[in-house]
Every structure is written in C-alpha cells, then in structure tokens.
Structure 1
Amino acid sequence: MKAVWNGVVLAESADTVLVEGNHYFPADSLKREYTTFSNHRTGCAWKGQAHYLSLFVNGEMNPDAVWFYPEPTEAAAEIKGRYAFWKGVQILP
C-alpha cells in the first residue's frame, strides 16, 4: 500500500493494518521529511487518544492529515506505532 499526497509517496508498505477502513502504516515506512508538528488531538472510545501530524509537501501544507495512537487502548494494540492518513491523502494498492 502507498499513501500519496501532492505527487509524493508519504509511506509505502506491504504490512498495513486495516481498522475501520483506514490503513495504518508502520512507523519506519513514514517519510518524516514530509511531516511537521501538530498539537491537534482527538479521542476515540475504543482506540484512545489520537495525535496528529501535518504534511508539508512541495510548498503546500495539509494540516492534521496524519494520525496515530501513541498509547492505544488494549483493544487497539495492533495499531501502536502505526500511522494513518486522511484529508486528501490517497491510499493506493
């Protein structure tokens, strides 16, 4: 699977975990040179608190387009250390 935005592959891996229709990519597949800080947080009743990163690619910002659960609940342990995407990021096979 590949995560692509603004013409750039942000993450690529054959080892994604599919949860609620979202592919969670392993941390080592994320190209960190395209991510930047975000202080945005959201809560999920069964997964825990999500933290976000923003994207900066080819001079364009996509705020809060990447999320992850640094300390997921026990029920969502399989996504610890993994990253998912939204806000226009394409997930391609």
Structure 2
Amino acid sequence: MATARWNGEVIAESKETRIVEGNHYFPLESVREQYLRPSDMTTVCPWKGTANYYTLHVDGRDNPDAAWYYAEPKAAAAEIKGHVAFWRGVEVSD
C-alpha cells in the first residue's frame, strides 16, 4: 500500500496508485480531503496537459502547491484522471 505523509499526518493511502514518471498518483477517494486547499497554481505538461494544484494544510501549517492533479488530462495520460500526486517534502512510501 502506498502512503503519503506530511507534517506527521497521513495525507493519502491506497493499494491502487498509478505510477507515472516516478510519481504515485493516488485516487482522489483515497486522499484525506480535509488537508487540501485549492490553489491558483497551474503548470502545463506537453503530454499530460494542464496540472492544477492544492496547498496542504495540516495542523496549522501550509505546504503551498504540494499536491497536483490533471482535471482534464490529455489522452496519453487518461489513466491519472481523478488522481492526485505529491511533492515538496511529502513522503511517499510503498
């Protein structure tokens, strides 16, 4: 089971992650949404599309733009629609 942790809390856990470019993408239903805050940040990947971000908010601390997802991924990345990945100090183990 893959687990994402930050600031002492489990952010997401799943046996069904998708690994793309070395990143675990967790199904949205496996992410503890109480820790997610919408962000205005976006980036563009040439083959996946436009990524949107969340800021993690755990125990009074923020980790800006530490989670991302593709709301409408391009066809080549369709498998990660409805999934969230993490970076910026979020520890992901499997």
Q: Same fold (TM over 0.5)?
A: yes
Task: State the number of aligned residues.
Answer: 93
Rounded Cα–Cα distance in structure 2 between residues aligned with 1:28 and 1:37: 16
Rounded Cα–Cα distance in structure 1 between residues aligned with 2:93 and 2:87: 13
1:37 positional shift = 1.4
1:27 corresponds to 2:28: yes
Kindly provide the amino acid, as one letter, of the partner of residue 21 in structure 1.
G
1:17 positional shift = 0.3
Rounded Cα–Cα distance in structure 1 between residues aligned with 2:38 and 2:73: 20
Rounded Cα–Cα distance in structure 2 between residues aligned with 1:33 and 1:44: 27
What is the DSSP-based 3-state SS (H/G/I as helix, E as strand, rest coil) of the residue aligned with 1:70?
coil
Rounded Cα–Cα distance in structure 2 between residues aligned with 1:73 and 1:8: 32
What is the DSSP-based 3-state SS (H/G/I as helix, E as strand, rest coil) of the residue aligned with 1:88?
coil
Instruction: Map 1:66-81; keep pairs closer than 5 Å.
Output: 66-81=67-82
- TM-score normalised to structure 1 length: 0.99
Partner of 1:36: 37
Instruction: Map 1:1-93; keep pairs closer than 5 Å.
Output: 1-93=2-94
**Aligned residues: percent identity?**
54
For structure 2, the 5+ residue unaligned runs are none
What is the DSSP-based 3-state SS (H/G/I as helix, E as strand, rest coil) of the residue aligned with 2:71?
coil
Quote the RMSD (CA, aligned, Å).
Answer: 0.4
Rounded Cα–Cα distance in structure 1 between residues aligned with 2:47 and 2:37: 27
